[in-house]
Structure 1
């Protein structure tokens, strides 16, 4: 009788053991030579041609971690953000913003700098580095991997060489643009060649602080008439869109009898974000004083008229603020009337 024939004979235990050892050895050898797929794939938070949006894409241990204080209102926050962006890049460091700055700027703008968590802020031993308002040569060589910039930087001299990048950082979300443009379109009326001029009148605490502390003045009725007259003479159908934190004063002191002046929000004070978006979607700018108006003019990119020489020559304000570093050279300055200060009124 023939024994039954089986397709495979039962392997010996020793053979299984040797086969396992050989397979494992081969796998380890190949792994050491070729990285696995997940090691070679780019981070899901990084796309080609776009900046990193997650701290994991740029480990702090390699490039350090720089941030900036988040103080002041919208214009100050924008100045702090742009200065951090420029100085960190200049010094080869990775910039992160504080959560409170993200809360102020992210609802309006498509900012890209990653946010550092509150826990990390508290745990890092920061080197505080104070800035004055304008760019200085020593800021190109700031030492330290974990630096927190402090101060109220508000000058184009920090970041103007990166103008297009800064404009991109402060590009508006679509719904913000749509709301602003819809409002402006409603002011066109029957005009065929309309030119929108945003007017920002800074009042509030400046009305008291400028004369009492800084030996300066805020914009008056005569300045606004001159500034608006410049655009009326140059453009056929200007439309002036007025925003302010003192709208009652504006309605009483800005002549709207020609039918080309509109007070935003039906003459009631609106939110800073809404006012800023509205002004930034105009063609040109009339500002008075303050970083809010400076940033409007910078983003609009058209002609900007500003209040010039609004302090006495011995003002302590001039030790903190350089007009030539705040206002772009091509902007148009109209000198303030300082007679109320000289006359003691």
Structure 2
């Protein structure tokens, strides 16, 4: 009886293993499986496959199109459109977004169509924040890219063209300048540079986001970033935008300039700018917090600043790209070993001239000392128990 049960269990295990292997193979080759199923079931899809073969025989004699599936929000859309233009140019294809795409509401896009191109074949981007060289050599046929394609390397060779393409609608640009002037106009008139600080919290604080590898930049990072920027641009004002402005008001407090710069540096600033009163060196550096509840208003402000401090996400990334100034970003994102970490190559995601910063060295040392103390206490407790 026992042997019979063992045989049945062994048989169940064999079938379970076989199903697991088959399931894994189907998942790994899911795109091929979907293609094969659609080829036999869908007449229109099958005719498109034949059309694609004709394209190959004609050696691309017909104009070919490439577009992208819609994902995410503003920062993701800007990455998608910009990368699409670079990929299209590398392949000799015609890029487009549909006229109904929400990015058209903000920018005067020229690469648009009212209807999708015929016989679009999907190409998948498996690593959203990394550069995939295969995108620069697409298969023959009309292509729809499914994924985020978020790397500056896709459009680095068309940057001048891209900046001409990504023009905000005139009435929106005019409103942005008015808003910017209301916030920091008097500081600019006094000769100060404007350094933006974008703080993303909101959705990245959720447990499900953290499991994926998202995180927020801590207070210590912003302290370090402000000090870093002030050493480069001492006569500045900080402009803060965020989805959690209350947290920013409580935690982002700029330093006194005399605490950041040496006496020699302060003397040079005074000699270069005789109109500046020495008393400002003993005052807190000015900081302005956005009062807007509109994400587009905040984005407009980021675009007009001289330099940029980023936290995490693509929203601040693009604000800094438009601003063109000196940029620092939080090096603690994403969380090591996470899904987002696997999908992100920092060299591909952040331009090479942007500067990675973490928390200050003093805070890092304090954390290390605290860890050493805890380890010592734990070892002491174990020793006591053994004794």
Question: For the structure 1 residues 259 and 313, does the alpha-carbon distance in structure 2 shift closer, same or farther, using more than 3 Å as the test?
Answer: closer
Q: CA RMSD in A?
A: 2.6
Q: How many residues align?
A: 274
3-state SS of the aligned residue for 1:88?
A: helix
Q: Does 1:161 align with 2:161?
A: no
Q: Is the 8 A contact 2:215 2:335 kept in 1?
A: no
Unaligned runs of 5+ in 2: 1-59, 256-283, 375-387
Alignment-derived partner of residue 264 in structure 1:
290
Q: Tell me how far 1:306 sits from its aligned partner.
A: 0.4
Q: Which residue of 2 aligns with 1:313?
A: 336
TM score, norm. by length of structure 2: 0.65
Distance in 1 between residues matched to 2:111 and 2:145, nearest whole Å = 15
* Residues 173-322 of structure 1 mapped to structure 2, 5 A cutoff: 173-186=169-182, 187-189=184-186, 192-209=190-207, 212-215=210-213, 217-255=215-253, 258=284, 260-265=286-291, 268=292, 270-322=293-345
What stretches of structure 1 move > 4 A for 4+ residues in a row?
336-340
Preserved contact between residue 305 and residue 334 of structure 1 (Cα < 8 Å): yes
CA distance in 1, matches of 2:211, 2:149: 20
Structure 1 residues 67 and 272, CA, compared in 2 at 3 Å: closer, same or farther? same
Shift of 1:312: 4.4
> Residues 140 and 223 from structure 1, CA distance in 2 versus in 1: closer, same or farther, beyond 3 angstroms?
same
Q: Which runs of 5+ in 1 are unaligned?
A: 1-59
How far is the alpha carbon of 1:216 from its aligned partner?
5.2
The CA deviation at 1:172 is 2.0
Greater displacement, 218-227 / 166-175: 166-175
Q: Is the 8 A contact 2:108 2:168 kept in 1?
A: yes
2:123 matched residue in structure 1 = 129
Contact 2:213 2:341 in 1 (8 A): no
Q: Which has the higher helix share?
A: 2
**What CA distance in whole angstroms lies between the structure 1 residues aligned with 2:165 and 2:253?**
36
Aligned match of 1:149:
145
- TM-score normalised per structure 1: 0.72
| 1:101-145, Cα deviation, whole Å (9 max, x unpaired) | 2xx22232222112232xx46xx3321101233332222221132
- Is residue 223–residue 254 contact of structure 2 (8 Å, CA) maintained in 1? no
Rounded Cα–Cα distance in structure 1 between residues aligned with 2:142 and 2:352:
35
Rate the CA distance shift 1:209–1:152 in 2: closer, same or farther, 3 A.
farther
Verify the 8 A CA contact 2:197 2:310 in the aligned structure 1. Answer: yes
User: Higher Cα Rg: structure 1 or 2?
Assistant: 1
